[in-house]
Amino acid sequence: MWVLPGEVLLISNPLWTTDRSNSFFIYQRRRNQGEKAGLADKLWGTISNFIDPNVPGYRILLQAPDADIAYSIATASTEVDLDKHWLWLENNLLPTLEEFDNTPEAIEFAQAKIKSLIANEQDTVDSLDYTEVAKFRDYEGRFQKTFEMPPEEKLVQYYSCSYWDGKLPCQGWMYLSTNHLAHHSYIMGRECRLVIRWTDITKLEREMGYSSENILVGVGNEVFYFGLFMKISETFELMQQLTYLAMKDFIMGTSSEGSSAINKMIENGAGSKNPLNKILEAYRELEAFRILFRLPMEEVLDGYTDCTVWVPSTKSEIGGRLYISPNYICFSSKVPELMWLVIPIRLVNTVHKLDASQRSGQRAGLCISANKQNLFYIHSLPEPIEMMKTITKFMAQCRKQQSDSKSKDSSFKPVRALQHMGPLSFSKKDQAKERGTESLWDTYFSENGRGACMFRMKEAAVLAQTGLPEKYRAEIWLLFSGAMNEMDARPAQYASLVEKCKKRKNIAFEDIERDLHRSLPEHKAFQSDIGIGALRRVLQACALHNPRIGYCQAMNIVTSVLLLYCNEEEAFWLLNAICTRMLPEYYNTKVVGAQIDAIVFEELVKELIPDLFEHIQKLNLLPVISLSWFLTIFINCMSLDAALQIMDCFFVDGIRIMFQVALTILDNNKGRILSSDDEGEAMVYLSQYLTNIASLEASNEQGSPLIRKGKIMAVEPHSDIPTVSTRVSELISQSYKRYGHLTVDYIEKLRNKGRLQVVMKLKESTRRGALRLLMEEVQLSRKELDILYAHFLEAHRKASFWGNTLQFSRIYGSQKTEPTIDKERFIETFCRLTPWKHMGKVAEKAAFAFELADVENSGRMTFYTFTHLLLCSSRGRLQDRLKFLFTLHLDKKRVLDAFWKAKEALKANPRTLEEVDYEKVTTAGLANISSGIESVNESQMSQKGTAAEEEEFDDEEHQRFWPFHAKFIPPEMKQSEYIQLCKTFYTLLDKEGTDRTIFTAMNAVLNLLLEEGERVKCSPFTKSIPTPQDLKTEPQEYSVFSSLPLTFPDDGNRVSRLPDKGGKVFNGVLRSSNESTPTPTPIVDLEPTSQGSKLEKATPVGPIETTSSTTDVKMERKISKGPVSLLLQSVETCEESVDLCDEWRISFEQFARQLQGEPELCQFFAEMDRLTLEPVKVVQKTNKSTNPSVARSAFKSRSQRKSFKE
C-alpha cells in the first residue's frame, strides 16, 4: 500500500537489507523475510519482532542520489504485493523523474505524486483514518495468506502477543477472524502457526501467569496460553464475543434457513465503511440495549448520549444515558437499577426544545409529551436540535406503521382471563392484605405514572417481593416484560397467527395436543373446551411465530398459569417474551438455556455455599433440581399461589430471582442434605420443604388444601409432612438479603462460561446419535465411523463458515436438527476419501451423485446420506457398487423420473419393488420393476413370502428411499452414456501393478455388452476409427475396445502383450494355442477393411488363434504410452467419429451379469474398498524451521552442523 512519505535514516540500519534499487527508488526487505534469509538474518528478524512487530516485511524508499535520508512511500507484508508498486514506479514515475535536472524538485514531485495516489484511495474511506484502514487491509491479506484462508474468512482484529509453547514465549501476532483464532510467530528461523476454531473452544478464561496476566484457551484436553498483551481487556472481550456468536449459531442458528450471526452482521454492514471490529462493538452495544430494556430482538439502536432526567417522585434529576431507536426512547440511570424508562415513540405527541434559561444552571434539553398526560424533561443534551429531528422522523414512521396495522385489524375476539372459571386455590383470601397491596401500587402509580411510559423505579421490585395484587397482576407482567409494547405495536398479529394455524400443519402441533390435558388438570378452566381451546391456540401460535423454538413440554404449564390472569392474546405475547428475552434458549428441543443455567447454578453453589457443594456433587443432585425448578419457574414443585409470587418477582426483577430463591432453598435445607446418603433421600427432604412453602393465607391455616403439581392436596395435621408452612414472602425476603448482590451482568458472565460446556455436550450427543443410527447399517468399525464423522464435520464447518447459509436441517418427524454439508464440500470430501479418487472426472461424478441423492433439491446432505453414498463406492456389496457406477453415467432427468415413479409405486404397494437377484430376473421382469408401475411376477413374490408375511415400509423407510437404494432399478443406458462408462473403467485400471488379465477381462466384457446393446439392426460405428498403423503399432486384428497393442511388465507365466493371430480369448482370459480350452464365449470382432480405416458390422466370432511364442515376449511398460492411455485415445477418437444409434440400450441387469461373470473383475472391485480415513486435527499447530540448509551452512565444522541438526 502507498503511505505518506516519511523520513528514514539509511545509515547503520541492520534490520533491513536492499534487494534492488535504481536512481531514485530502493526496494528493501526485513532481515527475516524471504527465502534468502540466513542465520544472521533470522537473528536480526527475531530481535526486530520484539522491538517493533508492527512493521511490514517489505518497503520502497524514495531517495536522492548520494543522500543519507530517504522517504518511505510504500509498504507490504508480501513480496508479491510490493512488486506491483515497484513495477508501477519503474514504468510510470521513474522515466519522468530522470528528466528533471534539479534533484530536489524531482524528489518533491515524486512526493506530491504519491500523496495524490493516497488522496484518490482516501475517497473510498471518507472519514476513517486512511493509514489505519490500509494497515488493516495489509494484515488481513497477511492473515489469509499465512493460514491459507479463503477471502470469505474476514479478519476482525489483530494483536501483538506471545504464545507460550511450554515455557518458551513465542512472540508474534494473534489474529481474530470471524471463525478462527490464529497465532503466528517467528523466532530464530523457527516458525509457529496455530489455528483454533471458535466452535471448538471449551474454556476461555483470564488468569495470572509468571509475569503478566494470560488468556487461557481450552480445546478438549488441550490448553493454550497467550500473554504479554498491550490491551488484554479489549482482546479478551472480543474473544468472548466471537466465541458467544459461534456458540449462538450452533444453538439458536441450527435451522434449515438463515445465515450465521457474524455473516448477517457482515451483510448488514456491507454498505458501511466501518471495519468489522467496529461493527461487532456496535452489535455488543445493541444486545446490551435490548436486554436492559427488554425490547424486541429486531429493534435497532440509532444512538445514545449522556443526559439527566427530571423524576417527579423524587423531585430531583437523575443522571444516566439516553438511547434512541426507531420505536423507543429509553433512559437508564448511572446507578444500576435505580431508575429506567421506556417511552414508545408511537405514544409521543410532541417534542420541543428547552432553552438553558428556562431552568437555571441547566444546559439545553428537550420536553417530550407522551400519552397525552406524561411530560418528560431531559436536560444536558449535547445536541438537542439533532435529537429532536431524529425523534420527529421516527414519529412519522411510527404513525405510518400504525395506520397500516389498523387496516389489518381482525374480528377475532380472544378469550378473556380464565380465573373467573374457578378459584385459583381453595383457601380464604386475606382481604386486608390484598387491599393493602393495591393501596401501595396505587400510590406508586400516582407518583410515577401508569402504563407504558411509567417511571420504573427500584421501589417496584421491592413491592413485587410481597406479591402483586390480582387486580394489577396482568398489567404489571405485560409492562415489565416488554410484552405490552409488542402487543400494542402489532395488534392483529396474534389473530393472523391463529388463522394460519388452522390451515397449516406443524411438527410441534402433535406434541402440543398430547400435553393439553396435562396443564393444571384439576383447575376447572382446563376441564372445559374453552380453556383447552385457548391453551391450544396460544401454544400453536407461539410455535408458528418462533419456528426455531417450536414447542417444549414445560411451555404448557407456564402458559396455563398466564391464561388464568390474562386473555389469550396477552398470554401469547407474555409467552413470547419469556421464550425469546427473559429465558432465552430455554424452550427448544434440547432445553439448552436450562442446561446452561444449571451450570451457572452449580457455579453459584460452589462459590456461595462451598461446604454444601462437595456433598451435593457426589449425590449428582444439582442438574435434576435446577431443570425442574427453572423450566416451570417453580410452578411444578410448590403450591401455585406461592409460585405466583416468585413469578411476580421474575417479571419485575428478571432471571436473578430464580437463582436467589434456589440458593436460599438449598441453604435452608443444608443440614438435611448433608445428612442424606443418596439422591433419593435428599430429593424427599427438598420435596417436603417445597410442599410446605405457601402464601400468607395458606400458611395461616393448618389443614387447608394446597395445590401442588396441578393437584389439590390437603396437609393433614398428623401426616409425616410438617404442618408448619414456610411463607413464600419470607423465602423471597431471605433470598434478597443473602444473595441480592447477584447482578444480571455477573449471571451473563457465568452463562457465557457454561455455554461452552453445554455446546461441547451437545456436539458429543449429536455425534453419538449419528453414529448409533449407522452402526448396524454399515460395514465400518466404530473407529472408522468416528474418523468419517470428523471429516464430515470438518466439511460441515467449512460450509457453515463460508457458505451462503447455516448447514443444518430438521430430522424427519422431529423438531431436532442435524448438521449437513453443501455440494461443494461434498465433492471435496468425496474425492479425498473415496477409493475411486483416480477415476476420470471424479469431481463431475461426485457432483452428479450429490444431485441424485438430493432428491428434494435442498442443496444439503446429512451424515446418514453422506455415509451411505460414500460406501456405495467402497464397502457395499459388489452389486450395489456396480449399480452406483452405472447410475453415475446416466442422464439425471431419466434417473429422477424413474425414481419418482418407483417411489409412488412403492408408497402404493411396498412389495412393488424388491431387492433383485440379477442372476434370476429376466430382462422383461426387470423392465417392469424399473418402471415402478407393474409388479414383480408371482413366482418371484412366492420366493419372498406370502402376502400375509409381507413387511411393509414404514413412513421413515419410505423417506429414506433414494436413487441408490437397493430396491431401485436405474433406467437403461444409452450408447453415448456407455462410451463414457468405458472411459471410466479404463481410468480405474490405469495404475501401476494392475494385472494384464484384468484388462483382457474388461475388454471382453465391454465388447459383449456392446453386442447386447444392439437390439435393432443398427451399426454402432460407421465412421473411421484409429487403425493400428495410426497408433504406430504392428498390424493385427482387434476390436475397438480390446485388441489394441498393449504392453505389460513380464510376470512369469503371464503373457506380456495382447494376442497376435493364433491366440485364444475365453471370457476375457488369454490362453496360448497349446493349452486346453473350454467352450469359447464369443466376443465382438470388428474387422478392419483393406485400407484399415473402415469397419464392417460387428459379428460374433469364435476363439482367435495365436502362436505360443507370444508368451516369451518381454517388453517394458512405458508410462507415457501405457495400455490405458492408448485405449482412452481409441475410445475418445471413436466417440468423436461415430454415428450413435438411438435404439441402442443395455440394462443394469445385463451390465451386472456380465461383470459378475468375470472372477478377475469381481476380485478387482472387491479390493477397491479402502477409504482414505486419516484422523482430523481439531487444532492445527505447525512448528517448522525455515531454510534449514541455509542455516546449517552457517556452521563451518561438521560437529557444529551435526549438533545444529540434532
Q: Tell me the C-alpha to C-alpha distance, in Å, between residue 859 and each of 789, 793, 796, 801, 819.
A: 19, 17, 13, 16, 13
Of residues 110 and 724, the one with the higher pLDDT is 110
Helix (H) or strand (E) holding 365: strand 365-370
Residue 646 phi/psi, 5° resolution? Answer: -70, -35
Asked whether 868 and 903 are in contact (CB, 8 A), the reply is no
Q: CA 305 to CA 303: how far, in whole Å?
A: 7
Per-residue pLDDT tens digits for 816-861? 677 888 888 889 888 888 887 777 788 888 898 898 888 778 888 8
Position 1201 pLDDT exceeds 50: no
Identify the DSSP state of 970: P
Question: What distances in angstroms separate CA 246 from CA 202, 260, 274, 1141, one per listed residue?
Answer: 12, 8, 22, 57
With residue 350 as reference, give the H or E element that holds it: strand 348-354
Q: Rounded distance, CA 226 to CA 960, Å?
A: 48
What distance in Å separates the CA atoms of residue 441 and residue 465, rounded to the nearest whole number? 13
Q: Is the model's pLDDT at 1138 over the cut of 70?
A: no
How big is the CA angle at 607 (ends 691 and 631), to the nearest 5 degrees? Answer: 40
Q: Say what the pLDDT of residue 1052 is.
A: 37
C-alpha cell at 312: 417527579
Compute how many other C-beta atoms are within 10 angstroms of the C-beta atom of residue 1108: 12
Res. 75: pLDDT tops 90 = no
Contact assessment for residue 1198 and residue 203, using Cβ atoms and an 8 Å cutoff: no
Mean pLDDT confidence for 328-334: 94
**HEC-encoded secondary structure of 124-151:** CCCCCCHHHHHHHHHHHHHHHHHCCCCC
Could you tell me which of 193, 166, 168, 178 has the C-alpha nearest to residue 140? 178
Task: Tell whether the model's pLDDT for residue 745 goes beyond 50.
Answer: yes
Taking each helix axis from N to C end, the angle separating 592-608 and 610-619, rounded to the nearest 10 degrees, works out to: 130
Closest CA to 309 of 301, 321, 294: 321
Nearest to 1145 by CA among 1022, 983, 1018: 1018
Q: Model confidence over 698-725: pLDDT tens digits? A: 444 433 434 343 333 433 433 343 334 5
Q: What's the average model confidence in pLDDT over 11-36?
A: 75
**Confidence label for 1178 from pLDDT (cuts 50, 70 and 90):** confident
DSSP state of 1095: B
- pLDDT of amino acid 38: 57
Residue 139: alpha-carbon gap to chain centroid = 26
What b/e string do you get for 780-798 counting C-beta neighbours within 10 Å, with b at 16 or more? beeeebebbbbbbbbbbbb
- Could you tell me the three cell numbers for 584? 432465552
- E strand segments, 455-569: 456-457
Q: Which residues, at least 6 apart from 607, have a Cβ–Cβ distance to it below 8 Å?
A: none
DSSP symbols for 1017-1054: S--S--S----TTTTTS------TTT-S--B----TTS
Question: In 3D, which of 698, 706, 713, 711 has the Cα closest to residue 523?
Answer: 711
Rounded mean pLDDT, 939-950: 36
Does 1059 or 502 have the greater pLDDT score? 502
Pick 54 or 622 by higher pLDDT: 622
**What is the maximum alpha-carbon separation in the chain?**
125
Predicted local distance difference test score (pLDDT) of residue 482 = 92
412 by Cβ neighbours in 10 Å (0-12 / 13-18 / 19+) ranks as: middle
**What pLDDT score does 43 carry?**
59
Instruction: Check residue 39 and give its pLDDT.
Output: 56
pLDDT digits (tens, 9 = 90+) for 1037-1055: 333 333 333 333 333 333 3
Which of the 8 DSSP states describes residue 973? B
Given a contact cutoff of 8 angstroms between Cβ atoms, the answer to whether 117 and 129 are in contact is: no
- pLDDT over 90 at 987, yes or no: no
Q: Which residues, listed in sequence order, are joined to residue 1203 by a DSSP beta bridge?
A: none
Amino acid at the residue 176: L
**Main-chain dihedrals φ then ψ at residue 685, nearest 5 degrees:** -60, -45
pLDDT tier for residue 194 given thresholds of 50, 70 and 90: very high
User: Is the pLDDT at 1012 greater than 70, yes or no?
Assistant: yes
User: pLDDT category, 935, cuts 50, 70, 90?
Assistant: very low
List the Cα angle 1109/1110/1113 in 5-degree steps. Answer: 100
Contact predicate 706/690, CB 8 Å? no
Give the model's pLDDT for residue 390: 92
Confidence of residue 44 (pLDDT cuts 50, 70, 90): low
Gyration radius from the chain CA atoms: 39
The share of the chain scoring above pLDDT 70, in percent, equals 71
Among 189, 230, 229, 192, smallest CA distance to 46 is for: 189
The whole-angstrom distance between residue 816's C-alpha and the CA centroid of its chain comes to: 15
Nearest of 1151, 889, 910 to residue 902 by alpha carbon: 910
CA-nearest of 83, 109, 111, 82 to 98 is: 109
Give CA–CA dist 933/1165, Å, rounded: 33
Residue 1034 banded pLDDT, cuts 50, 70, 90: very low
Stretch 486-495: mean pLDDT, rounded? 89
- Dump strand ranges (E) for 357-411: 365-370, 374-379
Burial class (CB in 10 A: 0-12, 13-18, 19+), 492: middle
Q: Of 561-575, 669-683, 708-722, 956-970, give the range with the top mean pLDDT.
A: 561-575
Q: Give the three cell numbers for residue 1122.
A: 501405457
**Choice among 56-70, 80-94, 1086-1100 with the minimum mean pLDDT:** 1086-1100
Rounded Cα–Cα distance for residues 48 and 57 (Å): 11
Whether residue 1076 is predicted with pLDDT greater than 80 in this model: the reply is no
Which residues neighbour 1168 within 8 Å (Cβ) at sequence distance 6 or greater? 835, 836, 874, 988
For residue 644, what pLDDT band results from cuts at 50, 70 and 90?
very high
Please state the length of the chain: 1206
pLDDT of residue 883: 86
| Residues 133-147, mean pLDDT to the nearest whole number | 83
Q: Among the listed ranges 22-36, 832-846, 900-914, which one has the minimum average pLDDT value?
A: 900-914
First-to-last alpha carbon distance for the chain, in angstroms, is: 42
Q: pLDDT tier at 912 (50, 70, 90 boundaries)? A: low
Greater confidence (127 vs 58) lies with 58
Instruction: Give the span between the Cα atoms of 489 and 1140, in whole angstroms.
Output: 69
pLDDT tops 50 at residue 397? yes
- Alpha-helix residue ranges (DSSP H) falling in 252-333: 261-268, 276-293
Pairwise CA distance, residues 834 & 872, whole Å: 10
Query: Cell numbers 415489565 label which residue?
Result: 480
Beta strands in 1053-1177 (DSSP E): 1064-1066, 1069-1071, 1083-1085, 1099-1101
Q: Are strands 69-76 and 2-9 parallel, antiparallel or unpaired?
A: antiparallel
Highest mean pLDDT among 42-51, 134-143, 428-437, 1006-1015 belongs to 134-143
pLDDT, one tens digit per residue, over 210-251 is 667 899 999 988 999 998 888 888 999 999 999 998 888 887
Exposure string for 173-185, b = 16+ CB within 10 A, e = fewer? bbbbbbbbbbbbb
Interatomic CA distance for residues 706 and 642, integer angstroms:
10
The DSSP code for 1111 is G
